[in-house]
Chains A and B, each alone.
Chain A
Amino acid sequence: MTTAPPRRAAPASAAAAPPRAARRARRRGRPVALFLAPFLLLFAALYLAPIGYTVYQSLYRMHRSGLGLSAPTQAFVGLANYATALGDADFRGSLLRVLLIGVVQVPLMLLLALGLALLLDARSTLFKRFFRLAFFLPYALPGVVGAIMWSYLVAPGLSPITAAAHHLGLHLDLTSNALLGPTIGNMLTWGWTGYNMLIIYSALQAIPAELSEAATMDGCSAFGIAWRIKVPMVRPALVLTTVFSIIGTAQLYNEPAILHNVAPNLSSTYTPIYAAYDAVDANNFNAAATESVILALLAFVLSFGFLKIVQRRGAAL
C-alpha cells in the first residue's frame, strides 16, 4: 500500500518549525486528542474491529449437540475453515471467475479509458465538455440502478439487443451461461470507464503545454506525443486506476446479484462476496468470515503485487 506520504501533503510547516514552536505544540497535546478522538473511535470500532473479528471468527466453528437442545458452542478449529473453503469447488470457482473477469475486463476498460482521455486531451478535439459529461454519466447513476437497467437490457423477452439480433436472424441469449461473464464485464466497463477516464484526463491536463509544443516543433506526430510523452507522464494515474479496479473487481456483488433476478442460471456462488453473503444467509458465519479473509488477502496480494511490479519496472526504466 501507499507507504510514502503523498507529495502534496508534505507538512513543510511542521518539519521546519523552530524548536520553540514545537515545544509549544507539544503542550497542546490535548486538543489533538480531542480533534482525533471521534474519528479514531469510530475507525477502531467500524474498521479495525470488524477486520479483527473476521479473522477471529474464521478460526472457530459452531458445534451443535445432536438434538440441538442445548446452546451451540464455539470451538477453536485452527485453519480447518480455510481448508473447507478452499476445498469447496463452488468457492474456488467463484475466485477463479473474478480473477478471469479481472484479467480480461480491467485491462480492456483502462485501455478504453486511457484512449478516450487522450482523445479528449488532444488539442483539436471538438465538444470536449459534452463528451466528458457523456462518458461520466454512468458513474453518476447508482450502481444498483445501472445493474437493474443492464439486467433488463440483456433479459430475454425484454432486451432490445436480443430483439435486434433476432431481426438479423441471430439467436442471442446474453444471460446464457457462456455469456454471463462478458455480460458482467460489460456492465463493469460501462459503469467505470468514465470514472477512470476522468482521473487520467485530470492527470493529462496537469502536463505543461510547452512539452507537447516542443515535441511538435521537433516533428513529433500527435500520436507520437501521446505515446512517448503523455502516457509515461500519467503513469501514477494509471497505477492508481489499476489498483482501484483490482479492488473493485474483488468486491463484485451488485451486478451478479441483480442479474440473478433475470438469469436464474446464475448461481449464488458466482462471486466470492456473493458466496460469503450466501453463507450469512445460511447462518454459517464462520464460513462467511473465512471466505471474506481469503478474498481480502487475495485482493491485497494482487493490488500490492501489482504496485511492486510497477515500482521495479519503474526503477529499471
Chain B
Amino acid sequence: MNTPANTRPGLSRWVVLGVLLLASVYFLAPVWWLLVSSTKTNADLFTGNGFWFGHFALVDNLRQVFTQQGGIYWQWLANSALYAVGGAAVSTAIAAMAGYALAKYPFRGREFTFNTVLAAVLVPQPLLAVPLYLMFSQVHLVNTYWAVLLPSMVSPFGVYLARIYAGSSVPDELIEAGRLDGAGEFRIFATIALRVMSPALVTIFLFQFVAIWTNYLLPVLMLANDHLQPVTVGIVGWQSQRGIGPTAVPFNIVITAAMVSALPLVVLFLSLQRFWRSGLVAGSTK
C-alpha cells in the first residue's frame, strides 16, 4: 500500500498509531469489561480488577440466565427473532416494490411522494411511539405481537435505498424485453428486477433487522406482557429488579444476558460487512 517515496518514516507514523491505539482502547475496553464480567460470579463482580477474570463462572451464569423466571429468556430471544425477521422481511418486500415503482414508472406526484418518504427518514422514531401507543390502545392492539410488528413493517430508508438501487441497476431494456415476451408487470418485477436488486435488498433487510432488534422504546410502551417482550425490554426489566426479595435479579445474570443478546448482532455485522457499509455509503451521498 505504501509508496516509500511518499512515506515520511519515523515519528509521525508512530504518533498516528499511538492515537489510534488509544482510541481503540476507549471503544474496546467497555466491551472487554462486559465479556470478562459475564464469566464472573455475582460476588466477584464487586471485588478485584474489573478488567480481569476472577472465578470462571460463565457456564453457571448462562445456566442461570436461561432458567431465571421459568426460562423466559428463550421466549424473549424467540420474540426478538420473530419481530426482527418478520418485520425486516415484510418491510424489505414492501420497500422493494415501492422503490422499484418510484424508480421505473413515471407518474404524476412521483417526486412529491419520494420527497415525503425522504422527509420521513428524518422523523425521530420515539416521537411516533407515543401517538402509536395511543392509537393502538384504541383499537386494542396494545399487548399483542402486532403492536411491534406493524410499525416494523414500514421503512422509509428502505424505500429510499431501493429506489436509488433500482434506478441505477435495473436496465430499462431488461424490463422492455420482458414486456415484449408478454410478461406482466408484476412478473417482470418478481423474476427480473428482484434478482438484480438483491444486494440492495440484503442491505435493507440488515438495517431494518438491526433497528428492530435494538428497538426499546416502542416495545416497552406497547407490551406489558412479559411473554411478548423482545430481549431488550426483558433485560432492562431484569436490570430494574435489583435489590432484595424473591424477584430480585442478581447483577451477573443481567450482565450475561446482555452479553448474549448482543451476540447475534455482532455476528451479523461481522459476516455481512459488505452490505452495511454500502448502506452507510448510500446514506452519506444524500
Contact = CB atoms under 8 A, between A and B. Distances in A.
Interface of A: 1-3, 5-9, 11, 13-14, 17, 22, 25-26, 28-29, 31-32, 34-36, 38-40, 42-43, 46-47, 49-51, 53-54, 57, 112, 116, 119-120, 122-127, 130-131, 133-138, 140-146, 148-153, 157-160, 163, 190, 193-195, 198-200, 202-203, 216, 222, 236-237, 240, 243, 247-248, 250-251, 253-254, 257-258, 261, 273, 276-277, 280, 285, 288-289, 292, 295-296, 299, 303
B225 interface: no
A273 B133 CA distance: 14
Nearest to A163: B50
Nearest to A122: B16
B153 A42 contact: yes
B132 interface: yes
B217 interface: yes
Interface string B126-146: 111011111100000000000
A296 B285 CA distance: 25
A237 B236 contact: no
B178 interface: no
A195 B269 CA distance: 13
Contacts of B75: none
A2 B118 contact: yes
B156 A47 contact: yes
B280 A36 contact: no
A14 B167 CA distance: 10
A141 B262 contact: yes
Given A8-B168, A289-B130, A125 B20 contact: yes
Nearest to A212: B6
11 contacts: A35-B189, A53-B131, A131-B24, A137-B27, A144-B236, A148-B235, A148-B239, A194-B27, A199-B280, A261-B242, A285-B134
Contact of B94 (A39, A133, A150): A39
Contacts of A40: 98, 113
B131 A303 contact: no
Contact of B28 (A9, A137, A203): A137
Interface stretch (B54-62, B65-73, B102-110): B102-110
A42 B214 CA distance: 22
Contact of B239 (A112, A141, A261): A261
Given A36-B113, A131-B20, A258-B239, A253 B217 contact: yes
Contacts of A43: 117, 120, 154, 156
B1 A120 contact: no
A49 B95 contact: no
A254 B283 CA distance: 24
Contact of A119 (B20, B26, B101, B125): B20
Interface of B: 1-3, 6-8, 12-13, 16-17, 19-20, 23-24, 26-28, 30-31, 33-34, 37, 45-46, 49-51, 94-95, 97-98, 100-107, 111, 113-115, 117-120, 122-128, 130-135, 150-151, 153-154, 156, 159, 163-164, 167-168, 172, 185-186, 189, 213-214, 216-217, 221, 232, 235-236, 239-240, 242, 251, 254-255, 258-259, 261-262, 265-266, 269-270, 277, 280-281, 283-286
Nearest to B45: A158
A141 B265 contact: yes
B235 A25 contact: no
Given A137-B266, A142-B232, A17 B131 contact: no
B106 A14 contact: yes
Q: Nearest 5 CB-CB pairs, A to B? A: A160-B50, A35-B101, A50-B131, A31-B185, A39-B98
B251 A158 contact: yes
A236 B235 CA distance: 38
Given A138-B27, A202-B277, A253-B126, A9 B45 contact: no
B119 A1 contact: yes
Contacts of A13: 104, 167, 172
Contacts of A28: 105, 185
A46 B132 contact: yes
Contact of A47 (B8, B34, B128, B240): B128
